Amino acid sequence: MRIQHIKFKPIIKDKIWGGQRLRTLLGKDFGSLPNGGESWEISGIDGDLSVVVDGEFAGMSIVELIEKLGADLVGKRILDVYGKQFPLLVKFIDANEKLSIQVHPDDELARARHDCFGKTEMWYVIEAEEDAQLISGFARKIEPEQYHGLVESGHFADVLASHTVHHGDVFFMPAGRIHAIGRGVMVAEIQQTSGLTYRIYDYDRVDAKGNKRELHIDEAKDAIDFDDMDSGKRSYLAKVNDGSQIVSCQYFTANFIKVGGALKRDYANLDSFVIFVCVGGSVSIDGTALSYGETLLVAASTDSVQIEGAGELLEVYI
């Protein structure tokens, strides 16, 4: 069954740390919101279900789409595991200010506490101001018994690793790894379908009503992998008109493709949907235009696609 390639309406999230670059650089419309922290490009989160923009499925939610198309849309093995829930959440994040220092639980802890999936994710840096940084992992080994003392004394950040980032940098964040996006960084994020975040420190910020955001210091301790000393930074070689793997884990595989002219991608043996995220320039995929900041879902029943143009893509599948 041949299904048209599908675009969804972005879901814009106003965040205390967000800015204007989702609008000024990526062309996202967030109306009267004071800022745009996140643009949810494809979401199966209850209450924030993506809706098809145009074509024969216009107005349908992603759940309705899966109900209608089933394995032709997502792939048989994925349908068997996830049912009507789309398994990945794709976002753009604009950090005009630092995000909280945080950690995500793994599947086992998330199921026990929240009856949902955990949260493993990756970041592809699409814009970064000069000397912009993010936090990923520990700078030195600490024991779990030291955790509360460091947090309560305000010195927890001292044991974390900061990394100066540039366009094209990739960081992998398995559940359990401490992390935080720094000021002046904009990323494309691929993650499990989960809204679980345990905040450890939020710089004592307050919202418009003077309220501090909720912290989850005790819950986070159980989620942190204290033995994990990997920074999460991944290196790759960008090859023109070919896929370069940047992350591969049990939840998703992400490749980087630098498009210069025309190429064909073959998915006949994949049994998975494919998501294209345009992180630079512009391309067309089987005649469907995809510009910087846009995302496209290609159905699992698609055997191959023809890509043309001059741009940079993330290619994501399970």
Residues tagged active-site: 199
- What distance in Å separates the CA atoms of residue 268 and residue 275, rounded to the nearest whole number? 15
- Three-state SS for 164? strand
- What distance in Å separates the CA atoms of residue 211 and residue 193, rounded to the nearest whole number? 28
- Distances in Å between the Cα of 91 and the Cα atoms of 54, 169, 272 are 20, 16, 20
Contact call for residues 86 and 77 (beta carbons, < 8 A):
no
Six-digit token string for 206: 């307050």
Closest to 73 measured CA to CA, from 42, 48, 38: 42
Contact call for residues 18 and 38 (beta carbons, < 8 A):
yes
Closest to 304 measured CA to CA, from 244, 263, 253: 263
Q: CA angle 266-194-110, nearest 5°?
A: 120
